[in-house]
Amino acid sequence: MARANELFDCSTPQNEYWTHVADQHELPIAPGKESVRKVSLVSELTTRINMEGENANLRDELHTRLAGNPNLLDEIRLFAGISDKRLYLALSYEFSRTVVDVSDRIPVTLCGCMPYEMASHSTAFFKRLLRSKDAEVRTLSSQVITDFLLRNGLADTLLAYGKLTKEDQERLLERLVFAKEAQQNEAKRRGHGAESHIARVLEFAGCRLVPESKVRNPMGAPDPNIDIEHLEIAPRKAGITHSCDIAVNDATGVLQAWVVSLVQSSDPGQFGVDKSETTSTIRRLLEASNARLGRYVELWGIVDGVGYAENKSGTINRMLASFHEFFQVKSAYKAALAAHRLGIGRISAIRFDGEFYSPNSALQMVEAYVPSDVVVLQNSEEAAPSWRSLRAGMATIYA
């Protein structure tokens, strides 16, 4: 039976990208906090149901707790299966039809809007009302929100949830209730994980990186800003600087390349289209500055993820044409080769993974990216004892 890698082709940037593309589970996850699972109120209401049965006075309990901590609204909304938009539109309707009677003033609605105006307010707006200094507004807001949640099935959901074991409750919260929140957190950490992966390769090759902490603290490392007119790192200034994820300097601290990270494990949507346009613009501005200043600063990209399959022509194809070099998790070794080519890093040899590459696809990568003074080791060849090694995607590099 033929092996899948015999079908690999790296003869064009697009073919190379899809040959090396990483599925979501193959993208490294940067260390950091898991998404916060706010389950305090759900747990307490469930405990009350288990103790008191279906006669538990959920309305009073929920009303009291929301009035004391408006942020609990986020937790209970998710648990009830109510989207943020449905919540704030429904509450905008309810609040514009709930009158607050104040003895010394003309009666006004709870949100201050007339029913015939039907203004849309954000969830944050209703949280502010739950914190109002006016006790009547605060109490009535909590009551209206509580009644809305109970009308939309919260009690039945809590009753069913309370009958599960603790293990099943945790599983339900993780897989269903807070799944989207967890997925968003994980997607962000995978993007930063790819940055850390590439930064480690550049660091191994001896490059000077800004920020220096990108390898060890990718989530917390501050993004540098590039003054594209003067081609140097500078404090952020709107309309003047452009943010990047990694700046690569030479031994004297002069900027030689800057890296932007654009990893998409799901549909990039309009964000991907906008970023591809921005990347094209930055490349044009960079070339103009290079010509004017007599410099040769390169634009590198960390791009990966199957999400770009949703709109290749509007996103990834345009970006690949805008980068001097692009790196993926499986082709991370290219970062070291690019640094070697520019003279800001150094590696001695490379060994391609024969299980991943076919002889033809490996040869294509060698011809496209490996400088003539870098040794290409065959599988049977031994590396020099003095060389350090690093697995960098689907190849091992030596320095």
Both ends of the chain: CA-CA distance in Å? 38
C-alpha–C-alpha distance, residues 23 and 360, integer Å: 23
C-alpha–C-alpha distance, residues 11 and 9, integer Å: 6
**pLDDT value at position 157?**
82
**pLDDT value at position 36?**
44
**pLDDT value at position 41?**
66
**pLDDT value at position 50?**
60
**pLDDT value at position 2?**
56
**The whole model's pTM is what?**
0.69
C-alpha–C-alpha distance, residues 189 and 288, integer Å: 34
Q: Write down the H helix ranges in 294-396.
A: 316-322, 333-342, 359-369
CA 341, distance to chain mean position in Å, is: 31
Q: What are phi and psi of 65, to 5 degrees?
A: -70, -40
C-alpha–C-alpha distance, residues 349 and 376, integer Å: 6
Instruction: Fill in the amino acid letter for 102.
Output: V
Spatial contact of 19 and 361, defined as CB atoms under 8 Å apart: yes
Q: Which residues of the chain have pLDDT under 70?
A: 1-2, 32-41, 43-44, 47-56, 102-106, 174-186, 266-269, 271
DSSP state of 33: P
Count how many Cα atoms sit within 13 Å of the Cα of residue 283 in the half-sphere of its side chain: 18
**pLDDT value at position 161?**
80
- pLDDT, tens digit, for every residue of 14-48? 999 999 999 888 888 887 654 444 455 676 677 66
**pLDDT value at position 307?**
86
- pLDDT, tens digit, for every residue of 125-139? 999 999 999 888 999
Spatial contact of 229 and 251, defined as CB atoms under 8 Å apart: no
**pLDDT value at position 267?**
63
Spatial contact of 91 and 126, defined as CB atoms under 8 Å apart: yes
